[in-house]
Amino acid sequence: MAADAPPRFVNRLLGWAPTWFIARLLLVSAYLLGGVTKLADWPGAVAEQAHFGLYPAGLWAALTILVEISGPLLILAGRLVWLGAGMLGVFTVLAAMVANAFWTLPAGADRFMATNAFFEHLGLAGGFVLVALVARQAR
């Protein structure tokens, strides 16, 4: 076995048929839940967009719900994965810039937390690129 080869149990896990679906479900679960929650609480969804200064808030709420539901469904269905991943990746970067603009905050705990959240969101966007790459390779 090569020095960089994964252990047998890791190979089994990665080769297990449901692993690909479960990994995608874990990646998109917050978006899917967020979209369904916003859909169930339309006034709250509109208020959230207004809170971030996005107007017309109703339009931004509708677009957010559309992306947060359709993007995950495309990824989970394995159809147009590149589109679903692209939608969620762009959405995630834009949302991070709006909600976690750490560069506008003074030094301190709030800036520290916003910086962490911003870069966590960039990591998620990278995960969507990887999902699109894996899906393309699997074709």
Look at residue 120 and give its three-state secondary structure. helix
Which residues lie closer than 8 Å to 116 by C-beta, 6 or more apart? Answer: none
Q: What is the pLDDT of residues 20-68, one digit of tens each?
A: 999 999 999 999 999 999 999 999 999 999 999 999 999 999 999 999 9
Domain ranges of the chain: 20-138
Give the pLDDT of residue 1.
62
Structure tokens at 8: 């047998």
Q: What is the pLDDT of residues 6-21, one digit of tens each?
A: 999 999 999 999 999 9
Cα separation, 31 vs 70, whole angstroms: 10
Please check the confidence at residue 86 and state whether its pLDDT lies above 80.
yes
Give the pLDDT of residue 139.
81
Residues 112-121 have a mean pLDDT of 98
Ranges of H-type helices in 41-80: 42-51, 57-77
Cα separation, 75 vs 63, whole angstroms: 18
Distances (CA, A) of 125 to 28, 31, 39, 121, 139: 11, 12, 23, 6, 22
Cα separation, 114 vs 100, whole angstroms: 5
Which residues lie closer than 8 Å to 45 by C-beta, 6 or more apart? Answer: 38, 39, 61, 64, 65
Give the pLDDT of residue 137.
93
Q: Are 72 and 88 in contact (CB under 8 A)?
A: yes
Residues 121-127 have a mean pLDDT of 98
Share of the chain above pLDDT 70, in %: 99
Give the pLDDT of residue 3.
80
